[in-house]
Amino acid sequence: MAEPDAVQTFEDGLTKIRGAYEQALRDATDEPELRLVNGRYVGPQGELTKLLKLMPKLPGDRRRELGQRANALKQEIQTTFDVVLDGIHRRARDAELTGPSLDVTLPGRWPMPGRLHPITRIRNEVLEILVSLGFDVADGPEIELYENCFDKLGFPPDHPATDEHDTFFIEGGKPSGPHSVLLRTQTSTIQVREMSRREPPLAIVSPGAVYRRDDDATHSPMFFQLEGFLVDTDVTFAELKGVLTLFLRRLFDEHVAVRFRASYFPFVEPGGEVDMSCVFCRAWEGDKERTTACRVCKGNGWMEILGCGMIHPVVFENVGYDPEKYTGFAFGMGLDRIAMLKYGIPNIKLLYDNDVRFLSQF
């Protein structure tokens, strides 16, 4: 049986939906919102869907006409939905085209992982070789007593290296005398410190920062040295030569030639400087033309690399060793200089500017 007010309900429903759907759909700002609003009319629980479920209750003579009106309205809602969705898509595309560009063909950006500084790398390489030969690693303070830096190493009081102009004295420390305090000018202080607290036999290497009032393309007021020394009974110059030759060949090239020149350091006797064949023109290969043109060794095929010698008996006396019983050798090198030679770096400042463009090449 048809209910008389079903017609009324149905017509009212159609009128209400017709008056509201268009604005509601057009107000949607994105696709999910549009679909939600659309569902309120034509979804499974939608207002129009509910009306259509009333159809069987309509009187037979009105059912066809009201059904057609409801279907037409459903069609209109669908058309409006399509138009609004199309607009939303077009606006999104326009925003992509006019907004900041995204080029998916560009290579990705790699993260910049940190890496070791060239001086740290050289220090590690040098230590690896010397530790494999049996040397222990020791450390010492950069702020040092004058006497450990000079007096106990046998520097005479008027030695030029002790000149205030070559040294940074610590303000507030004693201005002069054995107990004045300074930034160490050499890692040879470690000889004094380690020998004073240990008995031979000992073999020690010690890398670290040192300070001098120097500043040009090859000198920096702070730089790095590495000290090595060995004390035992019956140590000879031959062992010093053997250790340094093997060390330089492992570090640079197994073919490098090594030569020793007499030189003076107060804490060694005899003292020497070590040259090795130039690693830039590969002087050992004997290509005269290449060596003549070499700017690093200036054509002579050699470069100065470190200082060395047999530890002076006076140093042994100063640390309480019997100079009649013990002999030993010592050597010292600039780690900056070795890094510059090994990596072909022309100016020491590059090592301390911390420019990532430079450092990332190593």
- Taking CB under 6 A as the binding criterion, the range among 9-17, 237-245, 330-338, 344-352 that sits at the site for ligand PHE is 330-338
List the one residue from 309, 316, 337, 351 that touches ligand PHE (CB under 6 A). 309
Taking the complex as a whole, the smallest distance from the CB of residue 274 to ligand PHE amounts, in Å, to 10
Taking the complex as a whole, the smallest distance from the CB of residue 249 to ligand PHE amounts, in Å, to 20
Residues 78-107 as x/- pattern, contact with ligand PHE by CB under 6 A: ------------------------------
DSSP state of 177: S
What tokens appear for 326 in the block? Answer: 């013990």
Kindly give the interhelix angle for 4-27 and 60-98, rounded to the nearest 10 degrees. Answer: 10
> Any contact of residue 207 with ligand PHE (CB under 6 A)?
no
> Any contact of residue 186 with ligand PHE (CB under 6 A)?
yes
CA-CA-CA-CA torsion sign (63, 65, 71, 77): negative
Q: Which parts of the chain are beta strand (E)?
A: 136-137, 143-145, 181-183, 202-211, 222-232, 258-263, 268-277, 302-311, 327-334
DSSP state of 295: T
Task: Pick out residues in 156-185 that bind ligand PHE (CB under 6 A).
Answer: none
Choice between 28 and 315, CB closer to ligand PHE: 315
What tokens appear for 79 in the block? Answer: 């058309």
- Taking CB under 6 A as the binding criterion, the range among 48-56, 123-131, 230-238, 327-335 that sits at the site for ligand PHE is 327-335
List the one residue from 330, 339, 345, 351 that touches ligand PHE (CB under 6 A). 330
Judge whether 335 and 123 are in contact, CB under 8 Å: yes
> Any contact of residue 155 with ligand PHE (CB under 6 A)?
no
> Any contact of residue 188 with ligand PHE (CB under 6 A)?
yes
How far apart, in whole angstroms, are the C-alpha atoms of residue 24 and residue 123?
Answer: 74
Choice between 17 and 204, CB closer to ligand PHE: 204
Nearest to 249 by CA among 273, 290, 284: 284
Element (H, E) at 124: helix 118-132
Where on the chain is the footprint of ligand PHE (CB under 6 A)?
A: 186, 188, 227, 265, 268, 307-309, 330-332
